[in-house]
């Protein structure tokens, strides 16, 4: 499939450059990071600018394998991040710098200037679309130009859908939206899956493409953060997309899976079906919501409430104190579960869902707060 996905890789960055802003693409899910030479070490910094913590990892890449050399994290201030979105660039740069220093120290002083940064937030939209083309000349071999035209058509429809959804949610029209990730899921000729359609003949040409988009405001903030850290931005990746790719197993690839990541400011959901990431969704309800609820109800500081929340979710709070916290957090837990149910139903598009659900984050220790169905 290399030629097919190389075509997509060449196509998508060109359109981004025309818009005046460039980010790397995941055109092919097994495509290695670019290298400046086979004899040089491929070192990268992976940066997760989370609502609660800034996290940095130094990795060394060999072919399609990555070795973690060092990790570091630093707590974010409530004033610096909100629901996965940067609200104070200088503050976030300072926090990320602390996390980066810890990661570099953990890696034995290794510095990796090339950076991959995750992006989250309710306005980051990821979805897939299937384009069907009935060819007028089925005996004519499919050309690279014909493939590019089909990819263009799919991309434009996904972009319009993302803009419409963002406009409906914000009330603002014509918000600048940019592509962050794209991946070809499947290509079929007359119903048969092919690795590379170039040169094939047939009447029915079908392509399924996944793309993730984000507002330019968010992307620009991340670019500024990277510049402030003296990092070269290689790519910006939608976080649920990255999580699903990392955690997908062969079994999950065959039968599909739902991945749920509960962060400090948002909950991210990714749906994997038939070997590819089909949809992603995010909503602004994470660990900080529960912290604020505890702080308000118990009349304590946010810092104290955070410690209490973590102790509770780790099972250290017992007896009446635990029952009290369960009662306090029950409304938020119910809201969270209702939101998950609604979004998963939306993701299903009326089709059967995969049998496996994988979750990570603070929720794992707090499920006891939820009302029992």
- Predicted confidence (pLDDT) per residue in 62-88, tens digit: 887 889 999 999 999 888 998 888 999
The phi, psi pair for 334, rounded to 5°, reads -65, -40
Q: Provide CB contacts within 8 A for 92, sequence distance 6+.
A: 49, 54, 76, 80, 81, 86, 225
pLDDT number for residue 190: 95
Number of other residues whose CB lies within 10 A of the CB of residue 98: 16
Question: Tokens 């169905």 label which residue?
Answer: 373
Residue 273 or residue 99, greater confidence: 99
**Residue 95 pLDDT greater than 90, yes or no:** yes
The pair of three-digit structure tokens given for residue 2, joined into one six-digit string: 């290399």
SS3 307: helix
The pair of three-digit structure tokens given for residue 83, joined into one six-digit string: 């629901």
| Alpha-carbon span 307 to 291, nearest angstrom | 9
- CA distances to 2, 250, 272, 366 from 276, rounded to whole Å, are 16, 12, 6, 31
| Alpha-carbon span 79 to 86, nearest angstrom | 9
Provide the percentage of residues in the chain whose pLDDT is more than 70.
84
Model confidence over 15-25: pLDDT tens digits? 344 443 344 44
**Residue 319 pLDDT greater than 50, yes or no:** yes
pLDDT number for residue 356: 86
| Alpha-carbon span 48 to 246, nearest angstrom | 14
pLDDT number for residue 366: 53
Please state whether beta strands 42-49 and 53-62 pair in parallel, antiparallel, or not at all (unpaired). antiparallel
Average pLDDT over residues 149-154: 90
Model confidence over 190-212: pLDDT tens digits? 999 998 999 999 999 999 999 99
| Alpha-carbon span 267 to 247, nearest angstrom | 16
Q: Quick one: pLDDT band at residue 249, thresholds 50, 70, 90?
A: low
Average pLDDT over residues 154-179: 91
DSSP 8-state secondary structure symbol assigned to residue 368 = G
Domains and their CATH numbers in the chain: 20-122+217-246 (3.30.420.40), 287-369 (no CATH)
Q: Quick one: pLDDT band at residue 329, thresholds 50, 70, 90?
A: very high
| Alpha-carbon span 280 to 15, nearest angstrom | 23
pLDDT number for residue 273: 82
Report the chain's C-alpha Rg in angstroms: 22
| Alpha-carbon span 30 to 16, nearest angstrom | 22
* pLDDT averaged over every residue in the chain: 84
- CA distances to 86, 219, 234, 271 from 223, rounded to whole Å, are 11, 6, 10, 28
Q: Quick one: pLDDT band at residue 8, thresholds 50, 70, 90?
A: very low
pLDDT number for residue 250: 56
Contact status, residue 322 vs residue 273, Cβ threshold 8 Å = no
The phi, psi pair for 7, rounded to 5°, reads -60, -45
Provide the percentage of residues in the chain whose pLDDT is more than 90.
51
Average pLDDT over residues 242-252: 69
pLDDT number for residue 142: 94
The phi, psi pair for 33, rounded to 5°, reads -65, 155
Residue 3 or residue 233, greater confidence: 233
Question: Tokens 């609820």 label which residue?
Answer: 293
pLDDT number for residue 315: 85
pLDDT number for residue 111: 94
**Residue 121 pLDDT greater than 90, yes or no:** no
pLDDT number for residue 265: 87
Residue 257 or residue 16, greater confidence: 257
pLDDT number for residue 349: 81
Q: Which pTM does this prediction carry? A: 0.76
- What 298-303 contacts at long range (C-beta under 8 Å, 24+ apart), as own/partner pairs, is 298/328, 302/78
Please state whether beta strands 114-119 and 232-238 pair in parallel, antiparallel, or not at all (unpaired). parallel
SS3 64: coil
pLDDT number for residue 39: 53
The phi, psi pair for 242, rounded to 5°, reads -65, -40
pLDDT number for residue 20: 38
**Of residues 43, 12, 45, the one with CA closest to residue 28:** 12
């Amino acid at each position: 499939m290399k030629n097919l996905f190389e075509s997509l890789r060449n196509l998508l960055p060109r359109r981004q450059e025309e818009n005046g802003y460039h980010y790397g693409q995941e055109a092919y899910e097994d495509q290695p990071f670019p290298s400046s030479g086979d004899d040089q070490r491929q070192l990268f910094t992976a940066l997760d600018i989370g609502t609660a913590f800034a996290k940095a990892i130094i990795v060394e890449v060999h072919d399609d394998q990555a070795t973690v050399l060092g990790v570091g994290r630093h707590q974010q201030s409530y004033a610096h991040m909100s629901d996965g979105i940067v609200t104070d660039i200088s503050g976030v740069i300072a926090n990320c710098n602390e996390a980066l220093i810890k990661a570099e120290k953990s890696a034995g002083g290794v510095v990796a200037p090339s950076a991959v940064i995750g992006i989250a937030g309710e306005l980051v939209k990821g979805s897939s679309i299937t384009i069907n083309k009935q060819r007028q000349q089925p005996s004519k071999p499919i050309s690279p130009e014909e493939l590019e035209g089909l990819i263009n058509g799919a991309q434009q429809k996904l972009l319009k859908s993302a803009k419409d959804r963002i406009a409906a949610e914000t009330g603002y029209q014509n918000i600048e939206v940019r592509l962050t990730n794209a991946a070809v899921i499947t290509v079929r000729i007359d119903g048969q899956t092919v690795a590379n359609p170039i040169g094939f003949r047939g009447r029915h040409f079908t392509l399924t493409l996944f793309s993730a988009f984000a507002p330019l405001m968010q992307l620009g903030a991340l670019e500024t953060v990277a510049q402030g850290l003296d990092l070269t931005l290689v790519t910006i990746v939608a976080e649920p997309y990255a999580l699903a790719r990392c955690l997908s197993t062969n079994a999950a690839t065959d039968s599909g899976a739902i991945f749920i990541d509960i962060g400090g400011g948002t909950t991210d959901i990714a749906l994997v079906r038939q070997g590819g990431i089909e949809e992603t969704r995010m909503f602004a309800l994470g660990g900080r919501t529960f912290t604020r609820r505890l702080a308000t109800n118990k009349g304590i500081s946010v810092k104290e409430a955070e410690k209490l929340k973590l102790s509770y979710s780790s099972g250290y709070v017992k007896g009446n104190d635990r029952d009290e916290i369960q009662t306090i957090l029950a409304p938020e837990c119910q809201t969270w579960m209702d939101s998950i149910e609604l979004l998963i139903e939306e993701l299903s598009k009326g089709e059967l869902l995969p049998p496996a659900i994988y979750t990570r984050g603070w929720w794992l220790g707090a499920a006891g707060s939820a009302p029992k169905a």
